[in-house]
Amino acid sequence: MKNIFQIGTGQLTFETLERIINENLKLELATEAKERIEKARLFLDKKIETANEPLYGITTGFGSLCNKNISAHDLNILQENLIKSHACSVGEEIKPVIIKLMMLLKAHALSLGHSGVQLVTVQRIIDFFNNDILPIVYDRGSLGASGDLAPLANLFLPLIGVGDVNYKGQKREAMSVLDEFGWAPIKLKSKEGLALLNGTQFMSANGVFAILKAQRFSKKADLIAAMSLEAFDGCLAPFMDCIQQIRPHHGQIETGNNFRTLLEGSELINRPKAHIQDPYSFRCIPQVHGATKDAISYVASVLLTEINSVTDNPTIFPDEDLIISGGNFHGQPLALAFDYLAIALSELGNISERRVAQLIMGLRGLPEFLITNGGLNSGFMIPQYTSASMVSQNKMYCYAASSDSIVSSNGQEDHVSMGANSAVKLFKIMDNLEHIYAIELMNAAQGIDLRRPAKTSPILEKIHADFRKEVPFIKEDIVLYPEILKSVAFIRRNPMDY
């Protein structure tokens, strides 16, 4: 059926994930996924019966307690205790879309058949997803090392009838929702708690959301910058293909192509110029915006590998007759990539604010602060302050979380990735970035109006006209913060396709 996605038939893609979330698709386990899950569980059960040596996290304690052997009749209690004791995430509630992505990514990872969970456990995760039963998880508490232990523990408490969920717009005790559906709490078997908690699904879900948003925003950034170029009476030469081809970074070539498309048919860009060249914030857009595109592409490739991987521990290999305690839960690949993405996105804001500053300086025939009767009117003086404040804040968020490590679990877990912190701050950068570009769009649209009767390209004229239906030309001082918020909403809602 078109409204159902089968987990376990192949690799996840960003396009698939976006469709599942945006179209509210339901999930089901493919037959081959069920077979893999049951095969691994059967292998594990037999291994426990015959093993002469301790199996980490299965017949032993966790972390620095790995030398504590657990009796056979306590193995189930061990797994429930793990979920309860590790549910220590704090802070702000995670957005519903991230919760759903976490459940989806975990179900997919478990379906690969190397985790040893019960089929009923994976099915219950899918039931939660399909019925929008969203466990309450908070955004702080993960070191991104033994996976995302604390947030994943909060995520899966409701499987055993503990914790809280959001259901039909209400915060409810998990057990009451289970009762409503006639579901008994899952009785976890050996290793299952560890399979649920070990993994990078908190980091990955945040990363998926951020990368999808960044991919869309990158094209919008080009469009808004093109409007600024027109408002500033800028030059087209730096965007010609020949100059990109002799330094052929993919993002740079793409940016140049985008600008030539956006500016085709423009009176403003094609008229004679009194100046030889533009400041770097305009002239170097292909290089700066292009480098961010390349960073987004690289991070997307890392993330795509991650979401199609098995990241819990220990890992079960039925065909090889092996149970291996390794480190696939360690978030270093994501942590480094997310810190790189943070810098790349922050730079988009950095160069945007500089274009805003150029537009309000009273250069190239534009009035100072883009307002007539200056002095009496301050015009667009203070939006640049607001933009500068957010640009500075983004620079703080560019601190590399992955460069830090704090020893945990009494020295057993002595190097951690801090990848969860890398992931969470991407939200804050993207939110600032949308506001920074909302301010640039307001300035660019004002500048284009001040260039009339000359027109920009058909594409940009259409965007300008749509924008003017919501945010007016500023003739004299008004309260500007509502207009900034309208501009943010316009950017978020408008796909700005070209």
Residues known to be catalytic:
56
Q: For residues 200 and 419, is the Cβ–Cβ distance under 8 A?
A: yes
Q: Measured on CA atoms in the order 286, 299, 351, 280, is the torsion positive or negative?
A: negative
- 97 alpha carbon, distance to own chain's centre: 11
| 127, 131, 135, 139 alpha-carbon torsion, rounded to 10° | 110
The CA dihedral of 390, 396, 400, 401, to the nearest 10 degrees, is -100
In angstroms, the CA 109 to CA 114 distance is 9
* Residue pointed to by tokens 């939110």: 431
3-state secondary structure of 59: coil
Q: Could you give the CA distance from residue 176 to residue 161 in angstroms, rounded to a whole number?
A: 8
Give the C-alpha separation, 240 to 397, whole Å. 34
- Angle, vertex CA 90, rays to CA 89 and CA 93, nearest 5: 100
Residue 457 CA to chain centroid, in angstroms? Answer: 33
In one letter, which amino acid is 12? L
Length of the chain: 498
